[in-house]
Amino acid sequence: MKLLLTSGGVKNPSIHGALVDLLGKPIAESTALCIPTAIYARRGGEVRSWRFISGQEPQCPMTELGWKSVGVLELTALPSVGEDTWVPTVRDADVLLVNGGDPLFLCHWMRESGLADLLPSLRDTVWVGLSAGSMVLTPRIGEDFVDWRPPAGDDTTLGLVDFSIFPHVDHEMLPENTMAAAEKWAAELGGLAYAIDDETAIKVVDGAVEVISEGHWKEFTA
């Protein structure tokens, strides 16, 4: 897959340009599937999922970018239906838009639904993550971000990239998300990590990592 891992969605021209580059064609000619699942583990998730799906979240633009079409892939429903019902639709999509919320809840349902197993075969599909939708692809999220506990009980996620992400640095609504807190979090993880604000995204193509930013960010090494 081609990855665009954001903290706050497609917030600025630089991130927008990176998305178009990954798609290889205009957004207006691209088909999208949005995945709202992660938000259901948060208070008010029922309303916030509708806002995400319907493009009513202008502070973190994803579905409202002018796609040719937008469908909904609800992971919690997939174990109840056959893969022949949804896998062709995923393969046909140009982009998966993955909502924020709880990264471990999202990870659990990606595994339970079978989507996690499908991802390695989606060579040309673009994954655009929003906060938890980005963190779920990392090896670990760190105890600071654990809320919903999976059956395994730890903080491991899918590990499709080799770095962890601390999102929403210095966000006005999250006073605890300081760069100092991110540095402490990274030291506890002990691996490669990035702290990014909502004006920053991480682009990954064939293992090559590029930070796209009109804000501020920091890389932490082991």
Give the pLDDT score at 174: 83
Give the pLDDT score at 222: 78
Three-class DSSP labels, 165-186: EECCCCCCCCCCCCHHHHHHHH
| pTM attached to this predicted model | 0.96
Give the pLDDT score at 49: 94
Residues 2-220: name the CATH superfamily. Answer: Class I glutamine amidotransferase (GATase) domain (3.40.50.880)
| pLDDT beneath 50: ranges in the chain | none
Sheet containing strand 164-166, edge to edge, reads 164-166, 193-196, 217-220
Q: What is the pLDDT of residues 136-157, one digit of tens each?
A: 999 999 999 999 988 878 999 9
Give the pLDDT score at 123: 95
Taking the C-alpha atoms of residue 49 and residue 53, their distance in angstroms, rounded to an integer, is 6
Q: Which has the closest alpha carbon to 138: 61, 72, 195?
A: 195
Q: What is the pLDDT of residues 93-103, one digit of tens each?
A: 999 999 999 99
